[in-house]
Homo-oligomer: A and B are copies of this chain.
Amino acid sequence: MTGKKKSAQASVEAMYRVFTVPEAPESTLSRIDQNISGNLAGFLQEHIVAVERDLSEVEKNFADSAIPEKPIFVSEQAQFLLDKLVANSVHTASPSFIGHMTSALPYFMLPLSKIMIALNQNLVKTETSKAFTPMERQVLGMIHRLVYQQDGAYYRKWMHDPRHALGAMCSGGTVANLTALWVARNRAFPAEGSFRGLHQEGLFRALKYYGHDGAAILVSRRGHYSLRKAADVLGLGRDALIPVDTDDDNRIQIDALRDKCLELQRQKVKIMAICGIAGTTETGNVDPLDAMSDVAREFGAHFHVDAAWGGPTLFSRQHSHLMRGIEKADSVTFDAHKQLYVPMGVGLVVFRDPTMASAVEHHAQYIIRKGSRDLGSTTLEGSRPGMAMLIHSGLKILAREGYEILINQGIDKARTFADMITGHPDFELVTEPELNILTYRFCPARVQQALSAADTLQAERINMSLNRVTKYIQKTQRERGKAFVSRTRLEPARYGNFPCIVFRVVLANPLTTKEILDDILNEQKELAGEPGLKDEMDILYQHTEAVLGGPVAKRA
């Protein structure tokens, strides 16, 4: 062989090795594997949220836009990932990371995930998934039963029926909501007479045929942004997502919902869907689902419930009553990577009626042929991983009782934290927790006093200043990396719907203790006294003084 040929041959052999299972337990890859495990365990045991390093600094490690020409060793890449990626990650499992819905994982998810990755099944069709397909159908059946509580005979009939699907598994709540509304849209404008259905002829002809000037989706002002995105994707336009006013507890006002429906009806707009929220993203409130289902029935609208967050509340005997009416929904979104504690990216939607998904059924010649058991015919996505395996494992290993404990703990903890905030002279609880989410802000007692005495203009000035304070504290606390709360903007009725920036807290990690919550409040109070905030605090106290007429303490 010539030198060139030899080297080509060596490259080809290297490629074979890359795809071959290493047999020796002492292989390089095994050592790398152990090194990664050790490093990850170290990372996960640390109780900090993130190291203090600016993102533009981190970006320098990911600046190269050219795909490298020459291979590097796995060990080299593993070390790079541990040094530059893991070390600069957010410790979402930290008990002081209480700002978002991404939380800790039960540790058993890690070894079990390996099965999913190694088998690399594709759930679009049984030819690449075999046992994973019945398993996914079982998981859909279990969640369906949790929501709709049909009897065993019902599931024996439907769960494995190749012509039907009790739901659709997908990458997350956004696609779950989109899938539900896709079904709702196609069913709202079905084939009739000379019209072959919206799915076939499109929205333009559908509206013309049925004599509508538009189609609307109604949801409370607290609806998740994925619904507006869905309205856009589905061709309805973002305007078609009609926000309905909420009461003081961030729940949709039934009267306002009905009025809006009547108004739309007069405008010849089809009421395509009404969405209830079971756990609003920002405040964790649950809409009056039972009453909403009545309105949906009255107007012939699809009733969808976005239970991406709150769905697992059904596991709790104590709190499941909050979900009353969910069983009347035509479709319900669950996010598995939220309160089912499964690794990121899996959600699902279940349908009350197993024939409903046929509104979005697709077939092809090489897979998902008619009559096959392939799950891909009624999912928005095509190729999909076997994440159902991990939901299955959660439901078996934690079981209803385990999830109940997690749900109850989270709600109790939110109640405790709310009391801590209310009892603290420097903080104001903005929304009461109903599930395990609450919002609050830094707002010393004197400022609260001033706000209750202020006229509209004065209150606005104070709230604008408080907004800047809240934003500063939230950003700085995040950057310091010991703890993390998120922030959002709400329009509390008590302040005439003025947009107020608030801290948002999600209490889903069972390792978060009262002491940790105390530390978080203390750090926030300290941050409020930092030099960087001095000017703003001076402004805040001037406004406060202006209302109360007396001198105020310069510092909280």
Contacts and interface: CB of A to CB of B under 8 A. Distances in A.
Q: Is the interface of A mostly helix, strand, loop or mixed?
A: helix
B384 A344 contact: yes
B122 A92 contact: yes
A214 interface: yes
A81 B15 contact: no
A362 interface: yes
A62 B134 contact: yes
Contact of A152 (B58, B66, B234): B66
A539 interface: no
B237 A205 contact: yes
Contact of A65 (B92, B93, B117, B141): B141
Nearest to A51: B130
A213 B14 CA distance: 57
Contacts of A398: 18, 71
B202 A131 contact: no
B228 A504 contact: no
- Nearest first, the 6 A-B pairs at minimum CB distance are A235-B235, A202-B237, A65-B155, A88-B131, A366-B488, A174-B382
A193 to B, nearest CB: 17
Of the listed residues A93, A111, A398, the one surrounded by the most CB atoms of chain B closer than 10 A to its CB is A111
Given A19-B106, A200-B239, A115 B134 contact: no
Contacts of A226: 382
Copies of this chain: 2
A110 interface: yes
Nearest to A130: B90
A383 interface: yes
A71 B399 contact: yes
Interface stretch (A38-46, A251-259, A454-462, A546-554): A38-46
Interface string A1-43: 0000000000110111011111100000100110011001101
A486 B233 contact: no
A153 B85 CA distance: 24
A287 B93 CA distance: 47
6 contacts: A18-B106, A33-B110, A89-B119, A171-B171, A202-B236, A366-B487
Interface stretch (A350-358, A400-408, A423-431): A400-408
B383 A29 contact: no
Contacts of A41: 21-23
A440 interface: no
A127 B486 contact: yes
Contact of A396 (B77, B88, B141, B345): B77
Contacts of A319: none
Given A171-B381, A204-B207, 18 more contacts: A15-B402, A15-B406, A33-B111, A59-B134, A65-B141, A67-B315, A67-B395, A71-B397, A77-B108, A82-B115, A171-B171, A174-B383, A199-B238, A200-B237, A202-B203, A202-B237, A203-B204, A337-B383
